[in-house]
Structure 1
């Protein structure tokens, strides 16, 4: 398969608002990037890094702005990073937060990337390094990533903090001044990885909100450790199926083309793993059905249509085969569990 890295849709930040404010069309951007617009309402959905890059590139072209992502990143926040952001923000010191970010990024938020800390005298170079081979839109992605790294440090040092300087690998010299103005600090061009540079004494900065959060539940952490390994073909294909399901029910032929494999090759490799494409599609439909039933108030008919069923009764029968109960009953059971226990305790 072509893709080697994945990221969560939440890393796109407030892209729709920024595009609208600049007079662009977010619908046209997503159409040109061949991605479902529903991704904006599904922040935990995974998408291939190369698709993420391409979306940023198409946005840059839509707005005729070569440093668009530097502008977008000004509105980036830890909150936009979901559970990963909360996990990092609960660290007692900035040093621990940076260590948490580095060890958990490939498992929780974005793989085929790493955050690396290097010390040069009294300076810390905290770099964002990408191993995914995709090139188009890569610089936009790195400018956005730098802002998220700044947001991590700001959580410990204050909302207006900026690094002593920023290094942007591969930034054309003609864009240096424009990028530096948007980033708010000296911007250097280098063949090395993109990085932020700051005084090493900041690593001792203490979390100002220490003790104000109850921490993460085990269910939260478990839910987001789901980025597929590069060698896990079924896992990687499942990610692509769930992404496509935001817009349409994908066919085997479409997914083979999307994954860069011949149809028969894809079938053979899945068969070697004891699986079929229909197995993966059914599992993806189950997961999406459960999310829609539990996280939205959409009707059964609406959910059936979103999952590609022509008739709601077909969806209801399929769901009952999966779970043992019809979707209406499953939703009532879920609602009942969510109600507080009003029965008096026995003495």
Structure 2
């Protein structure tokens, strides 16, 4: 199976708005990148980094814009990064925010990447470093990542703050001028990782918007550690299954193709840990059913259709066999003290038969 990191769909920022404003087709972009358009409405969904890179590359080609991701980055905000964004921007000082970003990035938002802060005299070099092997679209991704790093510092230093200079690793010389204009500051080309450079005195900047009630809820904290380990084959396959479920009920062949494993190899390796593809699919259906019931106002019929059931009755019977109550009853109980922690139950239950 191809080694890869994962990121949340939220890191794409307002990509649909930027593509539309430039006269492109967001539907065509997602189709060419072989990703479900429903990702735009599911920001917490995990996406393999190679697919995230490819989407940025395809979009750049669609718009005939070599610095598209830098343009997109100007429209991003930390608020769009959900739990990770809140955790970082609730730090008391910029130094603590950078520390939080570095330590929580692999668990909350994106793994196979590292944020590293180094001091060079009176300057701080804050770099974005990738260990994922994917190459296509990598440069676009780094342009976008740099803007998110700028957004962190702007939270402490003001909405117009810019670094003294930005270093892009491996940037073609022909792009230095257009990307410098977009970034609004001096842009350099280097052989190392991309980085932003600023005065080290900024590290003591105090958070101007910190409220006594700020903090993460228990449910938000529970989502911190859901990025799969590189050696966790069931976890990595489950990411692909949940991604596919946004568009269709995935087949074993489809997941095998996306994972880079032959069908029989995939089955054998799951069998080695006492699992089957059906187990993973059932558990993914359960998780998605709970999220749709709990976090949306969609009807039971709509949810059944989204999960690939032929009719609502089939879905209701399956849900009741698993949870003990019909989905409509479960939904009514969601604010009751009697309601169990269903997200936790999903992780522990083998699943219903569909």
The alignment's TM-score, normalised by the length of structure 2, stands at: 0.94
Deviations 1:217-260 (A, max 9, x none): 23211123200000000000000000000000001111111110
- What runs of 5+ residues in structure 1 fail to find an aligned partner? 339-347
Matched ranges for 1:114-263 at <5 A? 114-263=114-263
Which whole-Å CA distance do the structure 2 matches of 1:215 and 1:40 have between them? 26
Matched ranges for 1:6-25 at <5 A? 6-25=6-25
* Pairing 1:42–2:32 present: no
Deviations 1:159-201 (A, max 9, x none): 1000000011111000100000001100000110000000011
Displacement, 1:302? 1.0
Displacement, 1:335? 5.0
Runs of 4+ in 1 over 4 A off after TM superposition: 335-338
Displacement, 1:214? 2.6
Q: Which residue of 1 aligns with 2:302?
A: 302
Which whole-Å CA distance do the structure 1 matches of 2:89 and 2:176 have between them? 31
- What runs of 5+ residues in structure 2 fail to find an aligned partner? 339-354
Displacement, 1:300? 1.0
Which whole-Å CA distance do the structure 1 matches of 2:216 and 2:300 have between them? 32
Q: What SS does the corresponding residue of 2:222 show, helix, strand or coil?
A: helix
Taking structure 1 as reference, are residues 212 and 23 closer, same or farther at Cα in structure 2, changes over 3 Å only? Answer: farther
The RMSD of aligned alpha carbons is 1.1
Q: Which residue of 1 aligns with 2:99?
A: 99
Which whole-Å CA distance do the structure 1 matches of 2:336 and 2:226 have between them? 29
Which whole-Å CA distance do the structure 1 matches of 2:128 and 2:33 have between them? 24
Which whole-Å CA distance do the structure 2 matches of 1:151 and 1:337 have between them? 40
Moved more, 54-63 or 222-231: 222-231
The alignment's TM-score, normalised by the length of structure 1, stands at: 0.96
Residues 3 and 49 in structure 1, CA contact (< 8 A), matched pair in contact too: no
Q: What SS does the corresponding residue of 2:65 show, helix, strand or coil?
A: coil
Residues 108 and 223 in structure 2, CA contact (< 8 A), matched pair in contact too: no
Which whole-Å CA distance do the structure 1 matches of 2:80 and 2:167 have between them? 23
Residues 90 and 214 in structure 2, CA contact (< 8 A), matched pair in contact too: no
**Alignment coverage as a number of residue pairs:** 338
